[in-house]
Amino acid sequence: MSLGKPCGATPRVAIDVSALPTYSFAHRSLMWWGTLGFVSIETAGFGLAIATYLYFAQKAQTWPPDSPPPDLLPGTVLTVLLLLSLIPNQLIKGWARAEDVIKTRIGLVIMCIAGILPLIVRVFEFMALNVRWDTDAYGSIVWLLLGLHTTHLVTDVIDTIVLTALMFTRHGYEGRRFSDVYDNASYWDFVVVSWLPVYFILYWFPRLVS
């Protein structure tokens, strides 16, 4: 009989788990670990892309080979915007943990705007790279690095917009949604932090070595 009964063994009740919570935050939750797993993958991706950039730089006679470095303004404006977005992002983590529906909703709307603004600046950033992807290896890796980070930016902004919409429905009152908001904010931290080495490599490394 397929009872799933231990092989002739009698179950002996050792503990009762019914009083355990049905959701939790940060490292206690399953989704937080899943997010961390994907963050690890993407960190490896960024690391290898930066290593590729440095590999090309070390092989080249001059760096950048035949182009001026990217203009500083759009990239720096974007960096400032991303760093500023960390303020509401930290606040929203606290509001989510406190399960404050109103503040969490307001915070999410702010984070949607805080995500869309850098995307607009990103368009100007691409235009200020001063090199095309098909010019040379330098151009290829510069576009790849910026493209890689833009993919993260777009993905998390869409995720935040969907989550915001969700929090304005009846589902917004579920405890696990607050945990989702917390994890989404943690991922945004990664989107911002992962940008800093890319920003340094794209904008300051060529100026420092030339």
Of the pair 87, 158, the CB lying nearest other proteins is at: 158
Is 185 within 8 Å of 92 (Cβ atoms)? Answer: yes
- Smallest separation, CB 29 to other proteins (Å): 7
Return the number of the residue (176 or 207) whose C-beta is nearest other proteins. 176
Considering the complex, state which of residue 23 and residue 126 has its C-beta at the smaller distance from other proteins. Answer: 23
Distance of alpha carbon 59 from alpha carbon 205, whole angstroms: 15
What residue ranges bind other proteins (CB under 8 A)?
A: 1-24, 27-30, 33-34, 37-38, 40-42, 44-45, 48-49, 52, 55-56, 59, 65, 133-137, 139-141, 143-144, 158, 162, 166, 171, 174-176
CB atoms inside a 10 Å sphere around CB 170:
7
Please state the length of the chain: 210
Is the Cβ–Cβ distance between 95 and 121 less than 8 Å?
Answer: no
Question: In the complex, what is the shortest distance from the CB of residue 74 to other proteins, in angstroms, rounded to a whole number?
Answer: 22
3-state secondary structure of 66: coil
Per the omega criterion (within 30 degrees of 0), is the bond before 64 cis? yes
Q: Report in angstroms how near the CB of residue 70 gets to other proteins at its nearest.
A: 17
Cβ 82 to other proteins shortest distance, Å: 23
| Residue whose CB is less far from other proteins, 20 or 102 | 20
Residue among 6 and 208 whose Cβ is closer to other proteins = 6
Which of helix, strand or coil describes residue 9? coil
Q: Taking Cα atoms as reference points, which of 126, 124, 91 lies closest to residue 108?
A: 91
